[in-house]
Structure formats: C-alpha cells, structure tokens
Amino acid sequence: MPKPPLLLAYAHPDDETFGSAGTAAHYAALGHPVYLICATRGEVGQISDPALATPETLGAVREAELRCAAEAMGVEEVIFLDYRDSGMVDTAPNADPRAFINIPAEEVITKLVGIIRRIRPAVIITFDPTGGYGHPDHLAIYRHTLAAFHAAANATQFPALGTPHQASRLFFAAITKSFFQAWGEEMQKVGVEAEQDDPIMEQMRQLGYEDDQIDLSLDVSEYLERKWTAFQCHRTQFSADDPMNRLYLAARRRLFTVEHYLLAYPPLDLGAKLTDLFEGLS
C-alpha cells in the first residue's frame, strides 16, 4: 500500500534545508512521496563567491542548488511557484511588482489549491507564523499555505481545480529558544563571536519557541549526512569558510539531530505530544 504523501511549502531555496531536510529525508526513506513547493528562486539572496553567480543568474543557479538538495533529501518533485524573491524587509526588491509579497493572495492560493488537489498530501509543512525571523516571503508562504490548506478541502471553492482534498494535518516548522542557546554556545566554541551581534540571529532568538510549546520533535540523526549534503548544495548561500561548516562538523549531533514542529491543524489535546508526522494516520 502506498505511503501517504508529504508536502513542504517554503519561500526560498535553502529554507527547506534549515527547517526540514532531516524530516524530508526520513519520510522519503520510509517510502512517503515528498513534494517541495518553493515560492521563489531566491533571486536576491547572497552570492558567496562571484564565480558561482551574478545577480542576473542567481535565480537559475539557486534553482539548480535546490534541485541538488532535493535529490539529497529524496524529494520526489520540486514545484516552483515562479514568483520573485522579495528580499529582506524594507529593501528595494520589496517594490518589484514580480515580488512574491506583491502577488494577490487569490492568485497564489489558486496555485496552491491546484497543487494540493493534485498531490493529495496527508501532511503539509510550512513556516510558523513568525516566518522564522520575519522575512516577508516566509510570512507570505505561511499565510497562503494556511489559507490553501483549508480552501483545498472546500468543495465550494475553486471547483474547476479538481476534487477537494482535506489534508489530515498542517504543521509549522519551529525553532526553539534552547536551540539558539546551544547554537550560541557552539559558535563560541568554534571561535565565532560576531554571530551574537547579528540582527537576524537576535530576532530569531527572540521569536524562538519554548520547548514545551513544541508538538513534535523528530529525531533525524540517521539523516545527518543527507542533511549536510543538502546544505552543501546551497553553495551561493554558504561560502567555503562560512562558520556553518565548522559548526556542522563540530556540533552536528547537538544542533542538527532534532527538527521541531507545531501542529497547526487539527488542535491537539492539551499536554499531548506527537512522535511522528503521520502518527495515527493510515
């Protein structure tokens, strides 16, 4: 009997690797078809080495990087929504009419409903309501995926897009405050102090969840090699001397073996915890 599909919905190439590479690899290895939606090609992200890309080619290069990571994770299909990276908050790319944040909700939700009704996932994962650190595209894919999760199940909405489908669960990928605590300690151990002053890291630390807010902590220690391969695919985002390299090698067992999720739908009994995304689902 085929295993039920898993659908991940993120905004940029590399979001999936930070939040869910171990999860994707785990369920792919168990035989679940894993699908990955990426809203943009990360066109205004970093270029770690000018030999790898120019601002004009970055989108195409990052598409290839994502396909490389998807292969490492065992993802069945990568689906681009074909919008443009909106850039960090209050930067010039926010104003580009092609930017993901400027696309009417109805248009994006229509695309997502069509994908959900085609793939018919049992479980969908997207960003949490903070978008990790408030990146405008992260907040947008969170908002639209939440809307599409419900709209796909509603026969009165988008009747031309196929048979309605109610996915059984919606999860938000979450980062804990204790992760940032451990991250900071390990960064110091490998000799990186500057990270403490990074405004994005500071914001993520503030927005992180308490351990007891987490509904599911998934042990992905068996998939650390695959996760590392996926990280290394995103070469434009990590230079060869990026502290992440040293950190991963020095502290991967402490920092990267568990991926955390909040259950957004349906509500969980108070105090209950899940041990598996598909727990209790046939």
Could you list the residues that contact Zn ion (CB under 5 A)? Answer: 11-12, 15
Please, which residue, 15 or 128, has the CB nearer to Zn ion? 15
Contacts of residue 86, defined as CB under 8 A and 6 or more positions apart, other chains included, come to 40, 44, 93, 94, 96, 99, 100, 101, 102, 136, 137, 140
Please, which residue, 58 or 274, has the CB nearer to Zn ion? 58
Please, which residue, 122 or 230, has the CB nearer to Zn ion? 230
Helices 224-233 and 58-73 cross at an angle (nearest 10°) of 170
Taking CB atoms, the residue at the shortest distance from Zn ion is 12
Helices 177-189 and 199-207 cross at an angle (nearest 10°) of 140
Q: How far is CA 207 from CA 128, 129, 177, 212, in A?
A: 10, 10, 8, 15
Please, which residue, 30 or 200, has the CB nearer to Zn ion? 200
Question: Could you tell me if 32 and 3 are in contact, meaning their C-beta atoms sit under 8 angstroms apart?
Answer: yes
* Distance of closest approach, residue 138 Cβ to Zn ion, in angstroms: 6
* Distance of closest approach, residue 11 Cβ to Zn ion, in angstroms: 5
Please, which residue, 12 or 62, has the CB nearer to Zn ion? 12
State the Cα angle at 176 between 220 and 218, rounded to 5°: 20
Three-state DSSP at 240 gives coil
* Distance of closest approach, residue 145 Cβ to Zn ion, in angstroms: 14
* Distance of closest approach, residue 5 Cβ to Zn ion, in angstroms: 23
* Distance of closest approach, residue 63 Cβ to Zn ion, in angstroms: 14
Best CA proximity match to 258, nearest among 201, 209, 197, 198: 209
